[in-house]
Amino acid sequence: MQTRPLGASGLHVSRLGLGTMSWGRDVEWATARDLLHEFVAVGGNLVDTAPAYGAGVAEKMIGKALAGGLPRESLVIATKAGFVVRDGRRQIDTSRGALLNDLESSLRRLRTDHVDLWQVHAWGDAPIEETLSAMDAAVARGMARYVGVSNFVGWQTATAATWQEADRTRTRLSSVQVEYSLLARRAEVEVVGAAAYHQLGLLAWSSLGRGVLPGSYRGGRLPRGSRGASAIARRRWLRCARWGVERAPSGVWQTRRETTAMTILGGAGAGVARRDGRLQRIRPRPAPKPPRLLQRRHPSLDLRGIPQSSVLVRQQNRFPVLSPTRRRARRLQLHQRQQCVTL
């Protein structure tokens, strides 16, 4: 498996990462152990986890694998901090004390003295200067090698990166992690541009559209307890159905995008990438286009029977396709109107 540098840093990560959000909840220890060893065997190294995953069980599983003989140098461990449980409710706390306490607890569960990548799990109410000072302290103490942010929108990513770049004594951010798939492309609005400008590696989570893209919901079935049972995933599945798409060719198309450093596959996602018990090379394909748009560009295609009730298609149909002569005439007409208004 090929590796890529994480942003402008010297840390190299595999193009596919192993996510652990479902470990301890849907994935048992035996399955997690096999996934880890198989992932390392095919050249993968980055394992993404967090204290919030399984209330710390996911990190304990990784630590158990390391204690069982898995070489520490074979893994690039990325964990997070910022989610705490108080009075039985999960809250965001990005204060300096809470973040460093989270990191110390993570190191005990992981049975290691450092993590390779430490990320703020979400934007919080604490001043961003205080949040980022905790990351500087973690690097200075040797508890973390590189730092990044997670689930930040564009302006939050740029604010954090700019603050760290303003002083050379601060640790530059290396990455930003966001949801990014064929069905969730909001990151392209601002986050991708901010990451490119500040030379941050883009880590894409839920690259299989919360289970929609592999075809887990074909025929209208809804797996019990799946992440796709959420309202967000149901809307995305309906969007695919309206386009006549039951299963996307591949959900890991980001691996060929220059802006994406690494794509994270969870327990189910890793299963999709497996065939005959082995992880296989995934060949991404471009995103499917709406049927009516395809018919316009390729009149010879027979698309009868494919639903046309997509909202996107209806919006595109509001604007007729004009010939170059008509477009020039339209621009001239608008220019003349503007001159009349000016006079």
Catalytic residue ranges: 53
CA distance linking residue 48 with residue 17, whole number of Å: 7
Q: What residues does 111 pair with on adjacent strands?
A: none
215: left (phi over 0), alpha (psi -120 to 50) or beta: left
Of 163, 183, 174, nearest in space to 203 by CA: 174
SS3 152: coil
CB of 102 within 8 A of CB of 82? yes
Three-state secondary structure of 26-80: CECHHHHHHHHHHHHHCCCCEEECCCCHHHHHHHHHHHHHHHCCCCHHHCEEEEE
Helix axes 29-41, 57-67, angle to 10 degrees: 60
CA distance linking residue 270 with residue 279, whole number of Å: 8
Q: What are the tokens at 237?
A: 């599945």
Chain-centre distance of CA 179, in angstroms?
A: 4
Residue with tokens 């965001």: 92
CA distance linking residue 56 with residue 209, whole number of Å: 25
Of 135, 148, 139, nearest in space to 174 by CA: 148
Q: What residues does 3 pair with on adjacent strands?
A: 14
Q: How many CA atoms lie within 13 A of 105 on its CB side?
A: 18
